[in-house]
Amino acid sequence: MSKITDLSQLDLSKTYSYADYLTWQLEQTVELIKGKVFQMSPAPKVKHQNISFNLGGLFYNYLKGKNCKAFTAPFDVRLYDKKKSERADQNIFTVVQPDLCIICDTTKLDENGCLGSPELIIEILSKGNSKKEMRIKYELYEEAGVQEYWVIDPEREHLQQFVLNQEGLFYLKKTHIEEDTFYAHILPDFAVQMPEVLEE
């Protein structure tokens, strides 16, 4: 079997597993969502990278000496069907690379990344992926039981904070703008100041 080194070698109508994903040697960055291949947007713009760097720094300082850990893309998060007990590579059909994620249950970490839902996922929108982030990933993270999900729009300079309720559904806790200061739901003493997030 020939090595998969280019996206054009894949049949995008097929369903692939994480076991398949591990064999690919692609130059392009892809995610696997319910077995379907999604090509990620080209290299992020400067504003996107600034926000990612700013947030990464804030989490790094806050999480020193604490149990939770922060990870930035590229970092594989494998989400599996909770109704099935098997978590073998060939039975996992979703692998995403959030811009940032916070994992407090460190038993989910292994040498390949995270197996299971991070407590907090942060996605920073790019022009090419707004619909994917807002619709497909919203539903995916909700279904996977991610406790908190932030969607940041660099152009509109706002952050939507979604929290999972007791019924397992996301609700919009608040949209944060401009000079707002807010607290992470999963880290109630971690204050986030929007000017620090958006600083260039």
Residue 36 identity (one-letter amino acid)? K
In a domain, 150, yes or no: yes
Per the structure, the complete domain to which residue 13 belongs is given by 7-39
pLDDT score of 45 more than 70: yes
Q: Please check the confidence at residue 36 and state whether its pLDDT lies above 90.
A: yes
Residue with tokens 């594989």, as numbered in its chain: 76
Q: pLDDT tier at 93 (50, 70, 90 boundaries)?
A: very high
To the nearest 10°, report the CA torsion of 80, 83, 88, 91. -70
**145 has pLDDT over 60:** yes
Q: 79: closest CA among 132, 117, 29? A: 117
Please say whether the beta carbons of 103 and 69 come within 8 A.
yes
Whether residue 164 has pLDDT greater than 90: yes
Q: How confident is the model at residue 166 (pLDDT cuts 50, 70, 90)?
A: very high
Same domain for 27 and 110, yes or no, is: no
Are 3 and 25 a contacting pair, CB within 8 Å?
A: yes
Please give the structure tokens belonging to residue 54. Answer: 């700013």
Check whether 64 has a pLDDT greater than 90.
yes
* pLDDT level of residue 126 (50, 70, 90 thresholds): confident
Is it the case that residue 76 has pLDDT exceeding 80? yes
pLDDT at 28: 86
Three-class secondary structure assignment of the chain:
CCCCCCHHHCCCCCCCCHHHHHHCCCCCCEEEECCEEEECCCCCCHHHHHHHHHHHHHHHHHHCCCCCEEEECCCCEEECCCCCCCCCHHHCCEEECCCEEEECCHHHEECCEEECCCCEEEEECCCCCHHHHHHHHHHHHHHHCCCEEEEEECCCCEEEEEEECCCCCEEEEEEEECCCEEECCCCCCCEEEHHHHHCC
Confidence band (pLDDT; 50, 70, 90) for 133?
low
- Flag whether pLDDT at 85 surpasses 60: no
d(CA 57, CA 38): 29
Q: Is the pLDDT of residue 66 over 60?
A: yes
Claim to verify: residue 176 and residue 132 sit in the same structural domain: yes
Average pLDDT over residues 69-94: 85
Are 163 and 143 found together in one domain?
Answer: yes
150 has a pLDDT exceeding 80 = yes
Answer with the residue of higher pLDDT: 88 or 14: 14
Tell me how many domains the chain contains: 2
Asked if 18 and 108 sit in the same domain, the reply is no
| Same-domain status, 98 and 152 | yes
Residue 102 domain-assigned (yes or no)? yes
Average pLDDT, the chain: 92
Domain membership of residue 2 (yes or no) is no
pLDDT attached to residue 81: 73
Q: Is residue 61 part of a domain?
A: yes
Sorting pLDDT into bands at 50, 70 and 90, what band is 86?
low
| Same-domain pairing of 35 and 63 | no
- Nearest Cα neighbor of 89 from 101, 102, 78, 74 is 78
- Are the beta carbons of 50 and 199 closer than 8 angstroms? yes
Residue 116 has pLDDT above 70, yes or no: yes
Q: What pLDDT is recorded for position 161?
A: 98
